[in-house]
Every structure is written in C-alpha cells, then in structure tokens.
Amino acid sequence: MWTVSRQIPASAEVVWDLLVDPEVWPRWGPTVVAAQIDGGFLRHGATGRVWTPVGVPLPFTITGVDAGRSWTWRVAGVPATGHGVEPDGDRCRAWMSAPVWAPAYLPVLQIALRRIERMAVQSGAGGQ
C-alpha cells in the first residue's frame, strides 16, 4: 500500500467522524458524488454503494474496521483505499492509503486530506 498523511489541528474523534460518515464523503472525496451504507453505519462487513462522477453506483464492502482508528474497503470487488487517524494530543495525523497498483491515486488522497482538515477546523473543534 502507498500512504499519504497530514497533521490536522483537530481531535482524532472529529476527524474519525468525518471519515466514517457517508453523507460527508462527497465533501472531502474528489471521486465521490454520493454514498450509502446499508444499515446506516460503517462497520466490518457492511455493504453499500458509492457513486463516482460518471454516475454509476458501485457496490462496496467494508473489509476492516479498527473503531476510532482505521477502516478499509473493497469497491466493485477490488481492494480500495484505507483511511485512518492517530491521536496526537489535541491534534491528530490522518492518513489514507492506496493499493500498490494505484500510486497515481495518491494526489487525490492528498486533496481529500486537505478537505478533511478544512472541515475539521471549520467545525469549530480544531485545536489552538
């Protein structure tokens, strides 16, 4: 896996909430137009659909969850990105990973992390 990360001046809990809420994925994910998790919340084994800019819903399965820390998924049966957060006092380090065959996706993940930082800080929960 290839990984990018970013120090964010917000708590790990605030960033985690952004990472696991499918309603906000389109706000930080450049390649996500909409997402829906069957049953409403992200958990190991959960399934759902994610819509990309081409408008086709792709099925996904959550393949791993370490609550409050990280989650991974398969989209259309293919291993996809990993997402995570590590506490660091009143800040955190957020990270995303791409499969070894998808290093060209790393700039997209960097954009996502910048957007997450902006959202976390604008929520009023950012650190000083």
Q: Helix, strand or coil for residue 2? A: strand
Distance from C-alpha of 111 to C-alpha of 10, rounded to nearest angstrom? 17
For the chain, what percent of residues have pLDDT higher than 70? 96
Question: At residue 52, does pLDDT exceed 60?
Answer: yes
Q: Is the pLDDT of residue 123 over 90?
A: no
The token pair at 58 is 């792709």
The answer to whether 71 and 65 are in contact (CB under 8 A) is: yes
Average pLDDT over residues 19-26: 97
Closest CA to 92 of 127, 124, 46: 127
Average pLDDT of the residues in 36-61: 96
Mean pLDDT, the chain, integer: 95
Give 124's pLDDT tier (boundaries 50, 70, 90). low
pLDDT tens across 67-106, in order? Answer: 999 999 999 999 999 999 999 999 999 999 999 999 999 9
DSSP labels for 43-83?
A: -TT-EEEEE-TT--EEEEEEEEEETTTEEEEEETTEEEEEE
